[in-house]
Amino acid sequence: MNQKSLTFLPSYFSNQAILTYFLLLLICLLAFPNKLPWLWIIFGITAVIGFFYFSNQLSTRWTNLPESNFYSRLFWMSFIIRFTYVIFIYYFYQVKTGRPFEFKAGDSIDYHNIGNWIANALKEGRLIAFLSDSRFPLSDKGFPIWVSLIYLMTFRSIVAVRIMNALLSAWMIIFIYKLSKRNFGEKAARLSAIFSMLLPNFIYYTGLHIKETLMVFLVVAFMERADLMVRSVRNHIQLIIQVIIIGASLFLFRTPLAVTAWFALISALLLSDNRLIQASRKVVYVSWIIIAVLFLFSGQIFSEISETLNERKTNQEYSMSDIAKREGGNNLAKYGSTIVFIPLMLPSPIPTIVDIPNQENTLMLNGAFFTRNVYIFFVVLALAMIVKRKMIRQHILVLIFTFSYLLVLANSGFALSERFHLP
């Protein structure tokens, strides 16, 4: 498989993707004259060309670099791209909204305010008041605490939080490279790392004051460490502890996501090919994981899991109804349900190119949505190859996590939310 894989993204694919985007713009221009939001189209063009053109160029130039040089260039290029975007978008939002937050910011403002409150509480020794406050669910306490720590060290600097986002996102690319190399070989790993480095979605969230960048960093770190643990020929207590600590921290960000990650790990330990992990080591690892799960799935975490399961159908119906009724909403949303969403999980969301009132954040991501709609074809092709070549058990950790999380999304009120698709 690795011997036949490409070492770079061919210019044919990148050129065709870029041309298709411009063709879509032309069609929309003819069908909806005076309805194209040109500011957001510029963002879209930048995202599409930035992803496809430079994926071709960099994968060609970096294919024969020594691994140490590739590592270094990958990290620093990732960080420079994200740092530049963070500074640009900070002032862009200042000009457009009057404050350094996105359009119609909700969660961002809340995290900023709560971060300030926790910073004051830390200085006054009142952190326990926040941790025990029932108004803030456990699954939403991680990021405000992170923000407060940065605020304490940087005199309440908003841009410092986003620079840390840029740093974590760049570090995450290294984890993606390691995870890909272990599963699919050096050639595929370099391609996936370059794609991830240029992925518009990852870059976009570094410029926001919400938890997604830190949360996805922890997810990827968990998956990479867990994959190494499963594939390691010896039992490493230090590695097991790393996996447990990172996995536990996910419960401070999004409970269903954390449960999915742990489910994927346990499934991988039980179902992985015996050539990857021997039966005796499976017993050791599963014993450690069971102890950790029994400790974690208690108290507030167990309550949040039970509440999520009990309310998933009601939440989805309420969310779809709200989308249908709100100003500028989609009247067809009320018909949304799990059976409708499951086939849409991989390619969604679909880009919005025509101007829609009060949808600036979605319009801004039109290029990012388009790139996903293109590369998802190759994802589906890869999945078909894995099934055809009977390689599922060799990559079961990544596969179970991906499809379990998509199934969770399909049963929620956020089935077509790009923000919730990011992991």
User: DSSP code of 2?
Assistant: T
Residue with tokens 């390689």: 391
Check residue 298 and give its pLDDT: 55
- Quote the pLDDT of residue 365: 95
- 18 within 8 A of 48, measured Cβ to Cβ: yes
Are 162 and 207 contacting, i.e. CB atoms less than 8 angstroms apart?
A: yes
Do 301 and 251 form a contact (C-beta atoms < 8 A)? yes
pLDDT of residue 1: 43
The conformation of residue 34, written as its DSSP 8-state character, comes to T
Q: Which pLDDT value is given to residue 351?
A: 87
How many residues does this entry show for the chain?
423
Give CA–CA dist 130/136, Å, rounded.
8
Alpha carbon separation from 260 to 82, 127, 416 (Å, rounded): 28, 29, 18
The C-alpha atoms of residue 418 and residue 415 are separated, in whole angstroms, by 9
Q: What is the DSSP string of 269-309?
A: HHHS-TTTS-HHHHHHHHHHHHHHHHHHSSHHHHHHHHHHH
DSSP track, 240-273:
HHHHHHHHHHGGGT-HHHHHHHHHHHHHHHHHS-
**Cα–Cα distance for residue pair 208/81, rounded to 1 Å:** 15
Q: What is the 3-state secondary structure (H, E, C) of 188-243?
A: HHHHHHHHHHHCHHHHHHHCCCCCHHHHHHHHHHHHHHHHHHHHCCCCCHHHHHHH
Q: Would you write out the chain's pLDDT as a tens digit for each of its 423 residues?
A: 444 567 889 999 999 999 999 999 999 999 998 899 999 999 999 999 999 999 999 999 998 899 999 999 999 999 999 999 999 999 999 999 999 999 999 999 999 999 999 998 888 777 776 667 666 777 888 999 999 999 999 999 999 999 999 999 999 999 999 999 999 999 999 999 999 999 999 999 999 999 999 999 999 999 999 999 888 877 678 888 899 999 999 999 998 899 899 989 988 888 776 666 666 666 667 776 776 666 655 555 545 555 555 555 555 454 545 544 555 554 544 445 556 566 677 887 888 889 988 889 999 999 999 999 999 999 889 889 999 999 988 898 999 999 888 888 877 777 778 888 898
